[in-house]
Amino acid sequence: MTTLKEKLSSQVTAYDHWAQRRRYGPDGHNNLSLWVLACMDERLPVDEALGIHVDTPAGGGDAHCFRNAGGIVTDDAIRSAMLTCHFFGTKEIVIVQHTQCGMLSANAKDLEKMLRDKGIDTDNVAMDPTLPELKLEKGAFAKWIGMMDDVDETCIKTIDAFKNHPLIPKDVVISGWVWEVETRRLRAPTRDSEKRARTDFTSAPFGVKEKQPRRWN
């Protein structure tokens, strides 16, 4: 029979390891050895979508979670994924994008023009003030914004980008998913228009007529 003293001592030891897990490198991985890339949109509930505990309760500990506009591959997303996979014991990457995404709502060229109209020289912007070596080529700003034509296509290409990146270990399991804001349901990305007909998955319903600057090869 386990005494209450033994149970409490075990809980204290386990919590200490949880709190100090970064000291242990790969042996101090998060609960699920998982890294999640998700859109920053407030209507995308990562915990509900994936059935894990990252955001609720705060510090749930199941995964490292990185959010950006669109949940797409960017240099900083690669940086974070590289760190968690090589040094913090992560064995799986899950990408979550969603319908009704704000990255469908405008053409990146129009957004760049709005910034230029405000006096911002988008050909000469410090991408990271602490790293002046990090620069965009002239004319690349609109591509850098990362607007989408189609959420499912973007999700598929984001998966491929991580699978083929030299900084991501080949044995890491990688998958991508689309959260339907309209139905609160998760599904795999698909090109089957019938399976996604009940949702806004392209930029067309937002009145965007021109194709986005080509970001994906």
Judgement on whether residues 169 and 182 belong to the same structural domain of the protein: yes
> How many domains does the structure of the chain reveal?
2
Residues 3 and 91 in one domain: no
Predicted TM-score (pTM) above 0.75: yes
Residues 84, 9 share a domain: no
| 156: containing domain | 31-105+148-202
Sign (positive/negative) of CA torsion 105, 66, 155, 167? positive
Cβ-defined contacts of 154-160 (< 8 Å, 24+): 154/70, 154/72, 154/97, 154/103, 154/216, 155/95, 155/97, 155/189, 156/189, 157/216, 158/37, 158/71, 158/72, 158/73, 158/95, 158/97, 159/95, 159/189
Instruction: Give Cα separations from 74 to 70, 81, 145 (angstroms).
Output: 10, 10, 10
> To which residue do tokens 């911002």 refer?
120
Q: Tokens 């890491």, residue?
A: 172
Q: What is the pLDDT of residue 135?
A: 92
Q: CA nearest 155: which of 101, 112, 195?
A: 101
Residue 175 amino acid letter: S
Residue 132: what pLDDT? 92
Alpha-carbon distance of 203 to 149, in angstroms, equals: 5
Euclidean distance between CA atoms 84 and 160, whole angstroms: 19
Question: Do both 90 and 41 map to the same domain?
Answer: yes
Evaluate whether residue 45 is within a structural domain.
yes
* pLDDT at res. 216: 72
Whether residue 123 lies inside any domain: the answer is no
What is the number of other CB atoms lying within 10 angstroms of the CB of residue 42?
6
101 and 4 in one domain? no
* CATH number of the domain residue 73 falls in: 3.40.1050.10
User: Is 118 among the domain residues?
Assistant: no
Mean pLDDT in runs of 10 for the chain (217 residues)? 96 92 94 98 97 85 96 97 98 98 97 98 94 94 96 97 98 98 97 93 95 83
66 shares a domain with 6: no
